A = this chain, B = another copy of it.
């Protein structure tokens, strides 16, 4: 029932909920998918699954709780996944059942249709899934999981189209929200992004085969060449070594998730021709310009604050130093820990480099503030080690709105920035100063020299701005209050 306990100290980050990876045209495709998922593990750490197809052995799948490296490296597992085509998925807790994930909620989902079998791996979130699910059950669908993504399979089953690729189009035209989907049939690997392109999806070439991935870092691990991003609203169907592209959805202006730049994506992934690391370093540079301070040391909150701290140190001229050391052996889970250990919280993961910090005025650079609870604890640790002053610099604007597009965010009332001003937050955290980068500064760092165009913002920044590019209809039906038009 509860094979993994999410550990209780890590609830102060937004969580990307999924990573997807698929490959076609290479022997033992599932091995490549396993490696790709290992590289995408930061996008979903709770569970993973792989489906492969082999002409002699049909479709096979394996779904497991835990890390990819613990499950999908074992020869005894991988030999059950033969074939030259495979797709995989890693997930955090999705918009499924409250509480723990059941293994039946672990993707890829598979459906056997009159026209053949098809597996689907979905990154994102459908904002009308509850309504769709209700309608599908009324028409005789038997849901096996509590995952919204299963709707796609049932919509496909009801489509009258002859090919699975066309059925996928039918199904995805009926859903709302954000999705990057990788699907596979016996002979095709298919990739689709929603019209706004909220979640990422990239195409790579490996030998005579092809790969689809959430991020480029997963192409690197298998030695694939990064070819291009799948474009917002594009569907690619790869078969017999050919990539065919089509545009199933009504055209729309692209709205890529800006939080992928801030935190979700791996720093060695490439977005828009530049490494995410460089963008984050540039955020630090902008932050040093927007919010300078006199200090002795710039320290990252490891590990996600490091690139911005390097940029801040470089721009400000204040020395960069590792004032907080991360325990490398900290996993994300504990099985029924003792009370005492549960109470250690952040100390299990981070320790202050006391001899370095003592007597110094310290600038702490972190990627974001969600609930603020971790920030308080880190401040306590730093002061306890004898720091003279503590200045927080945050590499993202205040996170004041929940995400409904595939990110695990607390309810709005739990978001510190939803209830406090910047000054109130500074006092509540208890630091000498607290500054967030501006939304314009963030856009500049992400390559928009002119900052954010309020009429047509280039990114989805709903978590900062409250402006949702797709109305979250299920949530509105449940009573969610959108931001009043300004």
Contacts and interface: CB of A to CB of B under 8 A. Distances in A.
A388 interface: no
Number of copies: 4
A327 B153 contact: no
A157 B154 CA distance: 13
B41 A322 contact: no
Nearest to A220: B351
A221 B307 contact: no
B142 A325 contact: no
A469 interface: no
A334 interface: yes
Contacts of A153: 142
A307 B322 contact: yes
B112 A354 contact: no
Contact of A142 (B141, B303, B340): B141
Contacts of A322: 267, 277, 306-307, 310
Contacts of A142: 111-113, 141-142, 144, 153-154, 157
Interface string A297-316: 00000010011001000100
A69 to B, nearest CB: 6
For A70, A143, A329, A336, the residue with the greatest tally of chain B CB atoms inside 10 Å of its CB is A329
A365 to B, nearest CB: 14
A475 interface: no
Interface in A317-376: 319-322, 325, 327-331, 334-341, 344, 347-348, 351-356
Contacts of A340: 28, 31
A340 B321 CA distance: 39
Nearest to A1: B80
Contacts of A134: 114
B341 A73 contact: yes
Contact of A69 (B221, B281, B334): B334
A69 B278 contact: no
Interface in A4-50: 28, 31, 34-35, 38-39, 41-42, 45
A449 interface: no
A356 B273 CA distance: 11
A221 B348 contact: yes
A270 interface: yes
Interface string A107-131: 0000111100000000000000000
A41 B307 contact: no
A104 B102 CA distance: 13
Interface in A72-91: 73-76, 78-80
Nearest to A334: B73
Contacts of A320: 310, 320
Given A341-B73, A354-B275, A267 B325 contact: yes
B331 A69 contact: yes
B67 A329 contact: yes
A220 B354 contact: yes
A227 to B, nearest CB: 14
Contacts of A327: 38-39, 41
A306 B320 CA distance: 12
Contacts of A184: none
A270 B42 CA distance: 32
A53 to B, nearest CB: 16
A353 B278 CA distance: 9
Contacts of A31: 338, 340-341
For A111, A281, A355, the residue with the greatest tally of chain B CB atoms inside 10 Å of its CB is A355
A38 B350 CA distance: 12
A112 B274 CA distance: 48
A266 interface: yes
A480 to B, nearest CB: 24
The 3 lowest CB-CB distance pairs between A and B, nearest first, are A275-B355, A140-B157, A268-B325
26 contacts: A1-B80, A28-B338, A31-B338, A31-B341, A34-B341, A35-B341, A39-B327, A41-B327, A42-B328, A70-B331, A73-B341, A74-B338, A140-B157, A142-B144, A142-B157, A220-B351, A220-B352, A221-B344, A268-B352, A268-B354, A277-B322, A277-B353, A303-B328, A307-B322, A310-B321, A314-B319
